[in-house]
Amino acid sequence: MKFEDYNFHPELIKGILKLGLRRPTDIQYKSIPAIMRGEDVLAVAQTGTGKTAAFAIPTLHQLHVNKKRARRPDGVKCLVMVPTHELALQVAEVFNDLGDNTAVKTLAIIGGVEQDTQIKSLNKGVDAVVATPGRLFDLISQGHLRVQRVQTLILDEADRMLELGFLEDIQQLIRKLPARRQTLFFSATINNRIKKLAYSLIRQNAIRIQISPKDPVSRNVEHAIAFIEMDDKRFFLERLLKEHPDSKMLVFVRTKVRAERVSKAMKRVGLEAPALHGDKEQEERNELLAKFKAGSLRVLVATDVSARGIDVPGVEYVLNYDLPEQAPNYVHRVGRTGRGNHQGKAVSFCSPDEEPLLAEIEAYLGQPINRLDIDTGTYENTKLLSEDQSERLDDLLQEIESLEEFKRKKRKSKGKH
């Protein structure tokens, strides 16, 4: 079945074809008819299977048709709630690209930037809002964003929103929305907490869709893991980047501090790998993502939160420099590659301390990850051939300083006697 076979408005079909979409993916094929009928939907599908288009296409059709019939502007009709700034911008971009020829106006509302521009856009008239919780509630409380006429609520990356502690925000929002509305609940993973939240929001007769429940990761991704000491990981990252100079890579680390350290370690050996995390200004984050998407920047070092919403074509490698502390995050990370019909590689570095995390990930996946055998000679050569000798020099300088301090204390001790 092709998208032209659906009963979409011709102006929407133009946007779909312009984006190169011809046939629906599994999640799109199963979700779109139910959404078009106005039913609530609880959908679980792997990252990279086309979830955003699955809810954006039918929602845009409904918004466009209803707006054409309306006699006057009637406020925000669709609200999409997402966990991160990057994902909000990404989803809004999909809405705007698909709806470029329609009458639908979509606005991303995020924190970290001045709100005046967002308020001006809302005052001019907006049909769909894609928002993160913080700024969303700020504008609602100030009276700039009215949600009393919202007809469609979409929760995207619902599992991540729970993980980040947004449950109360979601519940607070629900109290402000009309009771009669359509609710679409999309997630890459499912567990009891997510089920409980979903069933509290959607109607009892909601359509439940689950794609590839036995295999949470796309089949287009090839997985491998290498056992590397924590302090040696930077040498192997350096080698990987130098051996694949033309590949686009996304490197995941556990914390913001780690992101900066890894980025600086690569800079010392002449490799550009800037860090992307929540402490950076939103403008800088947008600029980094734009360069990464355009291909002028081929490596990003990111934390889990900041990487949500990175839907960049051509990411060939996802490197788990640090293993994620929660197994479902492995799925979200590696889902940044192997998207659509493209192939991708997911490589993970595992230190001895991280082996319990590896066991949890493999249990979650239901299968072992392929081991990369690194012989002793290759391991030692990777360290020796690295251009980064800074820490060894730092260690030497620290030893010298400690020795001098010891001598000074010894001389003072002799002087007292």
State the Cα–Cα distance between residues 381 and 235, nearest whole angstrom: 10
String of b and e for 245-266 (b: at least 16 CB within 10 Å)?
Answer: eeebbbbbbbebebbbebbebb
Q: Which residues contact 359 (CB under 8 A, 6 or more apart)?
A: none
String of b and e for 334-363 (b: at least 16 CB within 10 Å)?
Answer: bbbbbbeeeebbbbbbbbeebeebbebbbe
Note the pLDDT of residue 84.
85
For residue 370, the 8-state DSSP code is: P
pLDDT tens digits, 123-164: 999 999 999 988 999 999 999 999 999 999 999 988 878 777
Domain holding 206, by residue range, is 3-210
**Quick one: what percent of the chain has pLDDT higher than 90?**
50
Q: 12: exposed, middle or buried (C-beta count within 10 Å: 0-12, 13-18, 19+)?
A: buried
Q: Does residue 324 have a pLDDT over 70?
A: yes
Q: Does residue 263 have a pLDDT over 90?
A: yes
Residue 164 lies in a domain: yes
Higher-scoring residue by pLDDT: 124, 212? 124
Q: Does residue 119 have a pLDDT over 50?
A: yes
Show which of 187, 210, 233 is a domain's final residue.
Answer: 210
Task: Give yes or no: residues 180 and 229 share one domain.
Answer: no
CA distance to 84, 140, 282, 347, per residue, from 321 (Å) = 22, 40, 24, 8
State the Cα–Cα distance between residues 16 and 53, nearest whole angstrom: 9
Higher-scoring residue by pLDDT: 410, 315? 315
Given a contact cutoff of 8 angstroms between Cβ atoms, the answer to whether 184 and 152 are in contact is yes
The identity of residue 68, as a single letter, is K
Task: Give yes or no: residues 164 and 286 share one domain.
Answer: no
State the Cα–Cα distance between residues 189 and 210, nearest whole angstrom: 10
Note the pLDDT of residue 396.
46
Residue 286 lies in a domain: yes
Task: Give yes or no: residues 313 and 173 share one domain.
Answer: no
Task: Give yes or no: residues 26 and 46 share one domain.
Answer: yes
CB atoms within 10 A of CB 86: 25
Show which of 210, 244, 267 is a domain's final residue.
Answer: 210
Task: Give yes or no: residues 160 and 255 share one domain.
Answer: no
Higher-scoring residue by pLDDT: 251, 388? 251
Residue 44 lies in a domain: yes
Task: Give yes or no: residues 196 and 234 share one domain.
Answer: no
Residue 143 lies in a domain: yes
Task: Give yes or no: residues 125 and 225 share one domain.
Answer: no
CB atoms within 10 A of CB 198: 23
Task: Give yes or no: residues 24 and 136 share one domain.
Answer: yes
* Residue 350: CATH number of its domain: 3.40.50.300
Task: Give yes or no: residues 198 and 277 share one domain.
Answer: no
Given a contact cutoff of 8 angstroms between Cβ atoms, the answer to whether 115 and 140 are in contact is no
State the Cα–Cα distance between residues 336 and 188, nearest whole angstrom: 12
Note the pLDDT of residue 159.
80
Q: Does residue 410 have a pLDDT over 60?
A: no
Task: Give yes or no: residues 87 and 142 share one domain.
Answer: yes
Residue 119 lies in a domain: yes
Residue position matching structure tokens 């230190």: 351
Residue 406 lies in a domain: no
Q: 403: exposed, middle or buried (C-beta count within 10 Å: 0-12, 13-18, 19+)?
A: exposed
Q: Give backbone dihedrals phi and psi of 249, rounded to 5 degrees, phi first.
A: -130, 145
Q: 322: exposed, middle or buried (C-beta count within 10 Å: 0-12, 13-18, 19+)?
A: buried
State the Cα–Cα distance between residues 323 and 350, nearest whole angstrom: 7
Residue position matching structure tokens 């947008």: 286
Residue 396 lies in a domain: no
Averaged confidence pLDDT in the chain: 86
Query: Predicted confidence band at 398 (pLDDT cuts at 50, 70, 90)?
Result: low
Residue 411 lies in a domain: no
Task: Give yes or no: residues 275 and 371 share one domain.
Answer: yes
Q: What is the DSSP secondary-structure string of 296-319?
A: S--EEEE-HHHHTT---TTEEEEE
Note the pLDDT of residue 214.
54
Give me the mean pLDDT over the 165-176 stretch.
85
Q: How many domains does the chain have?
A: 2
Query: Predicted confidence band at 171 (pLDDT cuts at 50, 70, 90)?
Result: confident
Helix H or strand E segment including 129: strand 128-131
For residue 41, the 8-state DSSP code is: E
Task: Give yes or no: residues 148 and 47 share one domain.
Answer: yes
Higher-scoring residue by pLDDT: 264, 199? 264
Is 0.75 topped by the overall pTM? no
Show which of 174, 190, 210 is a domain's final residue.
Answer: 210
Give me the mean pLDDT over the 275-279 stretch.
86
